Structure 1
Amino acid sequence: MTEKAERSPFGYRSIRVTACDATAGIIAGTFVCPLDVIKTRLQVIGLPLAPLSGRQKGSVIIRSLQDIVKNEGVVGMYRGLSPTIIALLPNWAIYFSVYEKLKDALKSNDGKLSVGANIVASAIAGVSTTIATNPLWVIRTRLVTQGMRTDVVPYTTVLSAFTRIFHQEGLRGLYSGLVPSLIGVSHVVIQLPAYEKIKQYMAEIGNKPVDKLSPESIVVATSISKVIASVMTYPHEE
């Protein structure tokens, strides 16, 4: 199999990378889903007010989990998990297909990719992915927050949510929040170039090619770049 075929959007390497990323995302998404539900709800309604008698005792996270379990059962902790899982496959498939193609196209004659070119590739891939998958993230947010409103008939499945939103609100409803989501592309625009640079730095220190880095080194590079991007773009999440 040629290197060109390997790196094509439907080549073995691209499919393998997409499958690995999607699987990792599904596992992580399932594990942290209760925390993500709490975060989304706190972003929508804000922190709970302290009682007149003084400050509330205990962690906001623990109290929120207790409230969700009490009012909605354990299932309330996993609202929005289905659309999250459904969205991850096209999310990564589109993103890495576009990203890898653009990286190859923007490389200089010596085969190197500049930071500027990496930023451009990340941005275009992020915008393409956001536009394609926005309806799924809208559905996820609606499912996560619907337990907060008792006056609204709840969505029962991802399909019922999609159908109702489309019939009642049209495409505008499915693409609500698109502009802020596009602004959120800044996260990957920061993370991926940082990730590539950190890998290059670690490869130089270890005097080895980037593709020979150990799994531990990849985890370190991923973690550092993720923290950098999260810290720099967190106000957007709020």
Structure 2
Amino acid sequence: MATSDFVLGGVAAMGAGLFTNPVEVIKTRIQLQGELAAKGSHAQPYKSVFQAFVTVAKNDGIMGLQKGLAPALCFQFVINSFRLSIYTHALEQGWVHNSKKEISFSRGLFWGALGGVVGSYFASPFFMIKTQLQAQAAKQIAVGYQHPHTSMSDAIRKIYQRSGVFGLWRGSMANVGRATVASAVQIATFGQAKSILKDSGLVSHPTLLSFSSGLTAGSFVSIAITPLDVITTRLYNQGLDAQGKGLYYRGWLDCVLKILRSEGVHGLYKGFWPIYLRSAPYSTLVLLFFDELLALREKYNLH
């Protein structure tokens, strides 16, 4: 596996993350809104995606839309360094192709999932801190548990002092499941869409081909991961009692059951539209950036 693939995957994801982090802030707030409360029985400061952008900017300032940016970029670098380099290595070795030398959807799914498992586990602390910082809001629009972190480094220090190293990986299994599904669907559909569009002659320009394939991948990802994303956000953001146990949920299954009991199926799909608005452009941008960076590497023979 080339070291340059590892770095390029991370850099491509950070580039995309700069543009999509504000949508991630809105998504986090909407997912925490009305936590474990019946529909219509709670305050609703975030009524739609557009209104939520205005509300955050008005109450938290424009920079409030970039809350949690530092851990968000660290998360993107770590997870995508692993998953994109693993997939690229498999692609170069021919492990993603079938006997006809065509890209196999099922094999792409496997290698995408494997990269997602490895990357999401190592990146889990950053996702947790990102979620907790993004949830921080002015009192009048605050939703969910409010953690008193002042920065990423402050959050790492406080979590480590209270719960040790393992505290930084609290809820990591939920994120591994979420990221595995997202990575598998994104990478498999990207490769398949790219192959179909290219072979059919519908799209031939390399940049447009990457853009179209990424947009297709992002659309499928948003449909697949919304419930898993809600669960991950809730587990990561919940506060802890004196014994270090979650105030609301004992684990991912308990989280699912409590959401269904109190919020209904609707609760598992909170934040679908910001997830879609984030996933489609994010997948398009990160895979487009990665393809372009790989092309530059080949052009200048950088390995």
Same-fold status (TM-score > 0.5): yes
C-alpha change, 1:63 and 1:16, in structure 2 (3 Å) is closer
Q: Structure 1 residue 124: deviation in Å? A: 0.8
**Unpaired segments of 5 or more residues in structure 2?**
231-303
- Report the Cα distance in structure 1 between the residues aligned to 2:169 and 2:46, rounded to whole angstroms: 38
- Report the Cα distance in structure 2 between the residues aligned to 1:46 and 1:150, rounded to whole angstroms: 8
- Report the Cα distance in structure 1 between the residues aligned to 2:78 and 2:45, rounded to whole angstroms: 42
Aligned match of 1:124 in 110, 114, 118? 114
Q: Structure 1 residue 42: deviation in Å? A: 1.8
- Which stretch of structure 1 is more off in the superposition, 123-132 or 64-73? 64-73
Q: Which amino acid in the other structure matches residue 214 of structure 1?
A: P
Answer yes or no: is 1:114 the counterpart of 2:104: yes
C-alpha change, 1:181 and 1:200, in structure 2 (3 Å) is same
- Note the alpha carbon deviations across 1:13-54, whole angstroms, 9 max, x for none: x26742662353233235xx1x321220221233897699xx
Answer yes or no: is 1:219 the counterpart of 2:211: yes
Aligned position for 2:301: none
Does the CA contact (< 8 Å) of 1:119 and 1:193 recur in 2?
Answer: yes
Does the CA contact (< 8 Å) of 2:7 and 2:81 recur in 1?
Answer: no
- Report the Cα distance in structure 2 between the residues aligned to 1:237 and 1:79, rounded to whole angstroms: 18
- Report the Cα distance in structure 1 between the residues aligned to 2:72 and 2:98, rounded to whole angstroms: 37
Q: Structure 1 residue 137: deviation in Å? A: 0.7
Q: In proportion to residue count, which structure has more helix?
A: 1
Aligned position for 2:194: 199
SS in 1 for 2:150: coil
Equivalent pairs, count: 221
SS in 1 for 2:3: coil
Structure of larger gyration radius: 1
Answer yes or no: is 1:189 the counterpart of 2:194: no
Aligned match of 1:29 in 7, 12, 20? 20
Q: What TM-score, normalized by structure 2, do the two folds share?
A: 0.62
Aligned position for 2:84: 96
Aligned match of 2:129 in 139, 146, 161? 139
**Overall identity of the aligned pairs, in %:** 18
Q: Structure 1 residue 215: deviation in Å? A: 1.2
C-alpha change, 1:40 and 1:114, in structure 2 (3 Å) is same
- Note the alpha carbon deviations across 1:174-231, whole angstroms, 9 max, x for none: 11221221221212211211111111111111299xxx64311221111012102211
- Report the Cα distance in structure 2 between the residues aligned to 1:131 and 1:57, rounded to whole angstroms: 33
Does the CA contact (< 8 Å) of 1:69 and 1:77 recur in 2?
Answer: yes
SS in 2 for 1:224: helix
- Report the Cα distance in structure 2 between the residues aligned to 1:159 and 1:10, rounded to whole angstroms: 27
CA RMSD of aligned residues (A): 3.5
SS in 1 for 2:76: helix
SS in 2 for 1:46: coil
**Unpaired segments of 5 or more residues in structure 1?**
1-7
C-alpha change, 1:123 and 1:72, in structure 2 (3 Å) is same
